[in-house]
Chains A and B, each alone.
Chain A
């Protein structure tokens, strides 16, 4: 019996297996980042954070959420990333409310939460309906408006 020819592995399958290199690098980066954060927390413990710090964090979180919406393909994860973006904006609202001493910023955060809840409920209902028909949660499969 001849040797079975190696089945050509498509790029998708081979890439899905966890590479030994990437995981180790990510682990080292995570440990290093944790140490940096602890050192920063100790060094900066006396000072008060400024509005710029909160707005900067809000910026970073918003960017991560936007990249998630752009890069991820799973419809559920896409919605989670939208929540991340809404939440990032909430931080900026609360920071500015504190900076200006105006309660309106916090009231608007409450409205954002309500709208987010309504949006998630309707969006998830639509995803469930799509999944019933297409058996897929991948947004790349949803390229037609009518089927």
Chain B
């Protein structure tokens, strides 16, 4: 519980900080903090492979891509980095209402006595790279192939987008 409370609080605090941080670089760094603490939460749930994948894919690749684009657009340019203004009263009120409604709608998932029971122990090797790989190449083979196709399509799409138009 100690790990959950500490890293859950860090994740939530970083997320709220992202919401109010007007500097895009700082927001990206807060996102790294959030993703790393969520990775630790994965570890406390016994998902060892996802712990490593989260660090490599999210913190290592996606956030670096964000920072790379911020640098590419120009880190010294005001219009890239910051927003024109702080939240105004109208945004506070409407955002608060939307947040409460969304939380109330999602709170329905918390019902059920099973959610409050102790988490069952896991079989040996649950969440290891081996068990995920076995599952990936047997039960989930078709979705796995489709994600490969998705990555190919994304790569081609980015090449088309990045191509300079001939003059």
Q: Flag if B19 contacts A101 (CB, 8 Å).
A: no
Question: Which residues does chain B contribute within 8 Å of A122, judged by CB atoms?
Answer: 154, 157-158, 161
1/0 per residue, CB under 8 A from A, across B150-161: the answer is: 110010011001
1/0 per residue, CB under 8 A from A, across B50-74: the answer is: 1001100110011001100110110
- Say if the beta carbon of A51 comes within 8 Å of chain B: yes
Q: Flag if A81 contacts B18 (CB, 8 Å).
A: yes
Q: Flag if B24 contacts A98 (CB, 8 Å).
A: no
- In angstroms, Cα B156 to Cα A122, docked, is 10
- In angstroms, Cα B61 to Cα A45, docked, is 34
Q: Flag if B120 contacts A54 (CB, 8 Å).
A: no
> Smallest distance from the beta carbon of B116 to chain A beta carbons, Å?
5
Which residue in A50, A60, A74, A81 is a CB contact (below 8 Å) of B119?
A50
For chain B, the count of residues having a C-beta within 8 Å of the partner chain is 87
Provide the main secondary structure of the chain B interface.
helix
Provide the main secondary structure of the chain A interface.
helix
What is the chain B residue whose CB lies nearest that of A109?
B50
Enumerate chain A interface residues (CB-CB to B < 8 A): 11-12, 15-16, 26, 30, 33, 37, 40-42, 44-57, 59-68, 70-74, 76-77, 79-81, 83-84, 87, 90-92, 94-95, 97-99, 101, 103-104, 106-107, 109-111, 113-118, 120-122, 124-129, 131, 135-138
A-B contact pairs, 5 of them (CB 8 A): A66-B98, A80-B28, A94-B47, A98-B47, A125-B157
Q: In the complex, given contacts A87-B35, A98-B122, what are 18 additional A-B residue pairs having Cβ atoms less than 8 angstroms apart?
A: A15-B85, A40-B5, A44-B2, A49-B119, A50-B116, A50-B119, A51-B119, A63-B106, A64-B19, A73-B84, A76-B27, A80-B31, A87-B38, A91-B42, A106-B50, A111-B147, A118-B154, A135-B79
Enumerate chain B interface residues (CB-CB to A < 8 A): 1-2, 4-6, 8-9, 11-13, 15-16, 18-20, 24, 27-28, 31, 34-35, 38, 41-42, 44-47, 49-50, 53-54, 57-58, 61-62, 65-66, 69-70, 72-73, 79-80, 82-88, 91, 95, 98-99, 102-103, 106-107, 109-110, 114-120, 122-123, 126-127, 131-132, 135-136, 139-140, 143, 147, 150-151, 154, 157-158, 161-162
